[in-house]
């Protein structure tokens, strides 16, 4: 039933923070280009820290550059944390990641001003390098550091698109890569991440906010089909070992299979490189990537098994060599039932319409699930757009999302 208590969220402050943070690394009109450890990222991290201090919170940075804002509790125990990342795609938009970091800060500011000191310690965090947009194998760098998933040699081995190591980039902004392990924490009870949806489900449903009950499992696979290079005109079709023909059949089969399974299964062929890539040549080889996702553990395994069986069958029938290499494989992450219950009660009490759904994208919460209970809140994205300068969420929807977050944090830390 509706609650007499309502946490006030300043819509003007929300909009100001979004626009001012979005101006740091502004690109392509409404876009943002802010990669980790770049001058733009350094400025954004400093601005987040400044806002934290202005909100009366204790601010600090950890060994990899995550920015923490703390509202100490009156009782001992593990912290309740919210936040997201402030790095972007090249270019991305103003909302992906950044909105979650700002929402956490705004929620803690509102709670402190309206209710004073909590029982349980609350923290907001601006994480770094979730996207992997500067260092392709360093995705979730900030949250991986928090959960102890950065090995001693990683900073010197992880290279960016321009050839520099992440260790070199860290040193350039005053961080010591040899101390990355010091960012590890074991004192976080729960992590609640607010994020834009990055898809059209909420908009199609006409609902402003979602409570996320699972984050999809993601596997990236690189496949190389090898045949025989020949002349495109003089070599008969029935004698060819054409890897491009095999690629076309496999691609069609994989995508059709996801269509037949229906939501939330998805399969994407994102990159294809034929060799030698000439108009009058039957290729020698075709290398392509498969991005396959499903939030259900068993259905995900079945999806991958179907993919592998089809690839092997087509390759054998067409006389092609086949090599498959898993680039990364993230298990699905289920939200903690107690956090889902808290958020559901908060939404009902605050008369906030919500949808319960799975996330089709990966998030820092998947990493944080190693050490804490996790859940997510989605805010509706206009036209489902994200990873683009055109991404947009209305202030009205955002305020509802921040209110839900703040009410959930209140229940976890004050009640």
Exposed / middle / buried, residue 224 (Cβ in 10 Å: 0-12, 13-18, 19+): middle
Domain membership flag for residue 64: yes
pLDDT, one tens digit per residue, over 206-220 is 999 999 999 999 999
**CATH code, domain with 205:** 3.40.630.10
Same-domain status, 356 and 294: no
Domain count, the chain: 2
Same-domain status, 127 and 17: yes
Q: What is the pLDDT of residue 6?
A: 86
**CATH code, domain with 290:** 3.30.70.360
Q: What is the pLDDT of residue 1?
A: 60
Q: How many CA atoms lie within 13 A of 232 on its CB side?
A: 10
Domain membership flag for residue 160: yes
Same-domain status, 109 and 255: no
pLDDT in tens, the chain (415 residues): 667 778 999 999 999 999 999 999 999 999 999 999 999 999 999 999 999 999 999 999 999 999 999 999 999 999 999 999 999 999 999 999 999 999 999 999 999 999 999 999 999 999 999 999 999 999 999 999 999 999 999 999 999 999 999 999 999 999 999 999 999 999 999 999 999 999 999 999 999 999 999 999 999 999 999 999 999 999 999 999 999 999 999 999 999 999 999 999 999 999 999 999 999 999 999 999 999 999 999 999 999 999 999 999 999 999 999 999 999 898 899 999 999 999 999 999 999 999 999 999 999 999 999 999 999 999 999 999 999 999 999 999 999 999 999 999 999 999 9
Same-domain status, 203 and 137: yes
Domain membership flag for residue 197: yes
Same-domain status, 36 and 49: yes
Q: Domain limits at 306?
A: 217-330
Same-domain status, 377 and 314: no
Output the pTM of the full model: 0.90
Same-domain status, 30 and 158: yes
Q: What is the pLDDT of residue 278?
A: 97
Same-domain status, 60 and 190: yes
Domain membership flag for residue 108: yes
Domain boundary among 330, 357, 383: 330
Q: What is the pLDDT of residue 330?
A: 86
Domain boundary among 330, 363, 393: 330
Same-domain status, 233 and 369: no
Same-domain status, 242 and 367: no
C-beta atoms surrounding 186 within 10 Å: 10
- Phi and psi at residue 242, to the nearest 5°: -100, 110
Domain boundary among 310, 330, 350: 330
Q: What is the pLDDT of residue 9?
A: 98
Same-domain status, 267 and 403: no
Domain membership flag for residue 2: no
Domain membership flag for residue 409: yes
pLDDT, one tens digit per residue, over 10-50 is 999 999 999 999 999 999 999 999 999 999 999 999 999 99
Same-domain status, 93 and 75: yes
Domain membership flag for residue 4: no
Domain membership flag for residue 144: yes
């Amino acid at each position: 039933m509706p609650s007499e208590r309502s946490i006030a969220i300043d819509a003007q402050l929300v909009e100001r923070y979004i626009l001012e943070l979005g101006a740091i690394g502004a690109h392509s009109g409404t876009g943002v280009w802010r990669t980790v450890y770049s001058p733009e990222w350094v400025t954004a991290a400093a601005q987040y820290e400044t806002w934290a201090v202005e909100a009366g919170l204790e601010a600090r940075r950890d060994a990899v550059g995550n920015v923490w804002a703390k509202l100490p509790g009156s009782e001992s125990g593990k912290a309740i944390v919210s936040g997201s990342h402030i790095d972007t795609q090249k270019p991305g938009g103003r909302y992906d990641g950044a909105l979650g970091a700002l929402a956490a800060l705004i929620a803690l500011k509102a709670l402190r001003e309206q209710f004073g000191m909590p029982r349980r310690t609350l923290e907001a965090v601006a994480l770094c390098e979730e996207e992997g947009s500067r260092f392709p194998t360093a995705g979730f760098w900030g949250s991986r550091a928090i959960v102890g998933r950065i090995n001693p040699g990683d900073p010197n081995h992880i290279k960016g698109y321009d050839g520099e190591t992440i260790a070199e980039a860290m040193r350039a902004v005053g961080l010591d890569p040899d101390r990355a392990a010091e960012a590890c924490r074991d004192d976080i009870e729960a992590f609640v991440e607010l994020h834009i949806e990055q898809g059209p489900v909420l908009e199609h449903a006409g609902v402003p906010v979602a409570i996320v009950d699972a984050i999809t499992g993601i596997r990236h696979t690189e496949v190389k089909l090898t045949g025989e290079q020949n002349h495109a005109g003089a070599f008969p079709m029935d004698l060819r070992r054409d890897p491009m023909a095999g690629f076309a059949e496999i691609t069609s089969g994989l995508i059709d299979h996801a269509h037949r399974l229906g939501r939330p299964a998805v399969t994407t062929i994102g990159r294809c490189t034929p060799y030698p890539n000439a108009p009058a040549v039957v290729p020698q080889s075709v290398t392509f990537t498969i991005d396959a996702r499903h939030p259900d553990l068993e259905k995900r395994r079945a999806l991958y098994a179907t993919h592998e069986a089809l690839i092997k069958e087509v390759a054998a029938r067409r006389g092609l060599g086949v090599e498959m290499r898993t680039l990364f494989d993230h298990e699905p992450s289920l939200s903690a039932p107690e956090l889902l219950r808290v958020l559901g009660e908060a939404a009902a009490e605050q008369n906030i319409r919500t949808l319960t759904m799975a996330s089709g994208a990966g998030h820092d919460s998947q990493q944080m699930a190693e050490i804490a209970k996790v859940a997510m809140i989605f805010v509706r994205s206009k036209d489902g757009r994200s990873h683009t300068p055109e991404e947009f969420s209305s202030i009205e929807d955002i305020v509802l999302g921040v209110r839900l977050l703040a009410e959930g944090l209140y229940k976890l830390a004050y009640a």
